[in-house]
Structures are given as C-alpha cells and as structure tokens.
Amino acid sequence: MRIVLLGAPGAGKGTQCKRLVSQYSLAHLSSGDILRQERAQGTDLGRQAQSYMDSGALVPDDLIIGMMKKAIDQTPKAGYVLDGFPRTLKQALELDKVLVAGGSPIDAVINLEVDDAIIADRMSGRRSCPACGAVYHIRNLKPQKDGVCDKDGTALIQRPDDDLEVVKKRLETYRQQTQPLIGYYQKQGVLHEVDANAGADAVDSVIREVLDKLIVRRRPVARARR
C-alpha cells in the first residue's frame, strides 16, 4: 500500500505514521524528518532548507521534489506512507507523474482534520528526541522520565519551529499551499477524511478501519486475476 497522510502542522501525522509502519509493515517517509537529518549532518540541502524551516515557510519545491524522489526510489514499491509530502500542488503533480510512470499510484490519502485550538495545544506540548526523532507530549504522551527519551536516554527538546509565532506562520502556509490538495485528491477518489481531534488510539483505529476496508476490497480483484 502507498499512502499519503495529509493534515495541518501538529495534526498528528508523524504519530499516526509511526503506528501504521508497524501495523502494516510500511516504510515511513517523512519530508520533515529527512530535512532535519540533512540539517543535523550539515549537508548543502540542510543548509538551504534551514531559513525556510525556521521561519515556517515551505522549502522550495525543486529541493523537496528531488529529495523525496530519491527517498521513494530507495524504498520498496510495495509499501510506504508519505508524511509531510506532497505539500503543494506542484509536488502532488510530480509525485503522481513518478508513481504512475512506475505503475504504482497512491492507494489512499488520509486527511487528519483537527481543530485549531487542539493543534495549538499539541504543538506547544510536543517534545522531540533530537537523536532518534521520537515524539512525546508533556500531557498526552509523556516519556517515562520527564524530559528524557524512553528509547535512548537523550534529553528531549522543543522543536525551534514550535515557537508560537512560527506555528502561526506554519498554519497560514498550510492553509494557502497545502489545503488545496484535499480537493485535488478528492477528485481522484482516493481521499479519506478522518476526524483526528480524539486521542491517538481512537484516531489510529479509525485509520485502520479505512485501510482494512481498502485491503478487503482489493482481495477479490486479486483472486479474479489469478
């Protein structure tokens, strides 16, 4: 299965992707995580992306498209979930071109719908591990020991782009440049809207329901072809 998770900053894309990866044996391709790795490694791409990310703007399409094409090329066609990509119409068109040419189009786009007040709470309470990328929340998903990553003991940080002013800009950027993708994927008949205001377990089970139905729907087709 090839899945795209859409949603505003802080909607819970990364949280849900991590769950899907283990439940459905998918690879997790997060454009934000890849960019943060590039920055940590001090690569040219990381340096070019830095000012855009810190201000809450999008990194230019050409840089992102090249980066994500490379990541998709290195991932088995059979299954992955895209988190944070595509984020503009140009990125979506390029993604379609690449996947259709390879005979492996997107199966489902899940749009996580979350109210603004909840987004603000999720972003302000998020804490991340700079070493392994694990994500926590000071109330909703606490680490076992305050401020310390359960997985590797690293001190947790608040992402610089979770600063209130930057969050406002990220939400504005999302509305202007990413929200139009909802209509784009609706027209393709692959969009599934999920109310993601509830806790992570509840959201997870709604997403699984959507994906399990898709899997079941495909089975008779596969048998008929044999």
User: CB-wise, 59 or 72, nearer to ligand AP5?
Assistant: 59
State yes or no: residue 19 binds ligand AP5 (CB under 6 A): no
- The residue with its CB nearest to ligand AP5 is 32
User: CB-wise, 104 or 177, nearer to ligand AP5?
Assistant: 177
State yes or no: residue 53 binds ligand AP5 (CB under 6 A): yes
Contact map string, positions 136 to 175, toward ligand AP5, x by CB under 6 A: xx--xx-------------------x--------x-----
For 31, 44, 90, the CA distances from 48, given in Å and listed in that order, are 14, 6, 19
Q: Is 223 a catalytic residue?
A: no
Figure out which of the listed residues 73, 199, 209, 218 binds ligand AP5, where binding follows CB under 6 A: 199
Cα dihedral sign, 30-116-148-25:
negative
Helix (H, G, I), strand (E, B) or coil at 161: helix
Residue 108 in tokens: 């489902």
Figure out which of the listed residues 21, 71, 89, 200 binds ligand AP5, where binding follows CB under 6 A: 200
Q: How far is the CB of 222 from ligand AP5 (least distance, A)?
A: 32
Figure out which of the listed residues 20, 122, 149, 156 binds ligand AP5, where binding follows CB under 6 A: 122
Figure out which of the listed residues 26, 38, 45, 85 binds ligand AP5, where binding follows CB under 6 A: 85
Query: What is the spatial distance between Cα 75 and Cα 114, in angstroms, rounded to a whole number?
Result: 30
Bridge-based pairing state of the strands 126-128 and 27-30: unpaired
Q: Using an 8 Å Cβ cutoff, are 99 and 3 in contact?
A: no
Buried-exposed string 198-223: b where 16+ CB fall within 10 A, e elsewhere: eebeebbebbeeebeeeeeeeeeeee
State yes or no: residue 87 binds ligand AP5 (CB under 6 A): yes
Q: How far is the CB of 220 from ligand AP5 (least distance, A)?
A: 33
Q: Is 170 a catalytic residue?
A: yes
Q: Is 2 a catalytic residue?
A: no
| Beta carbons within 8 Å of 213's beta carbon, 6+ residues apart | none
